[in-house]
Amino acid sequence: MRSAPSPVSSSSPSHASSASPSAACPCGRQDARSRPLAYAGCCGRYIDQFDTCPAPDAASLMRSRYTAFVRENAAYLQATWVPEHRPAAIDFDPGTRWLGLDVRAQRSIDADHAEVEFVARQRDATGRAHRLHERSRFVRTEGRWFYVDGELK
């Protein structure tokens, strides 16, 4: 597998990249006291330090990809997509507001394959609510997890 492009050169909109590192991470992960984790200590380390800090498991990669969708970071999404299925470009729907993520299940198939089932909620530009319920497949190659594809539920 060829190496993934680095998301450091992301063409993310300024509002997405200017979010405070101490702000709550969009993925909604919480600490032991049920307090939201800060972006920098959660998905931010995988997104902003892509070359040196890969997501340690499929669920962490899935959460960081959700965060990348919220922050409109197409470069990170492409870098974490297995090349065989990676789209040439990622277009974000203007006016979409991501409302939350619920990880329903995670399953290791073997040391290098896993599945994560989740529900992501969003509201489109017209105010209509949508739910994306997906079982995603992931593969680990050379110590780094990649999104393969997903089955909508």
Residue ranges of domains in the chain: 17-152
| Residue 126 reports pLDDT greater than 70 | yes
Query: The tokens of 10 are what?
Result: 């992301």
Q: How confident is the model at residue 22 (pLDDT cuts 50, 70, 90)?
A: confident
| Residue 51 reports pLDDT greater than 60 | yes
Residue 34 pLDDT: 95
Residue 20 pLDDT: 81
Mean pLDDT score, 56-72:
98
Cα 116 off chain centre by: 12
Helix (H) or strand (E) holding 63: helix 58-70
Residue 110 pLDDT: 98
Instruction: Give 19's contacts (C-beta < 8 A, 6+ positions apart).
Output: 39, 71
What are the distances in angstroms from CA 102 to CA 23, 61, 91, 133? Answer: 19, 14, 23, 9
Annotation: CATH topology of 17-152 = Nuclear Transport Factor 2; Chain: A, (3.10.450)
Residue 21 pLDDT: 77
Edge-to-edge strand ranges of the sheet holding 129-141: 97-110, 113-123, 129-141, 144-152
Helix (H) or strand (E) holding 110: strand 97-110
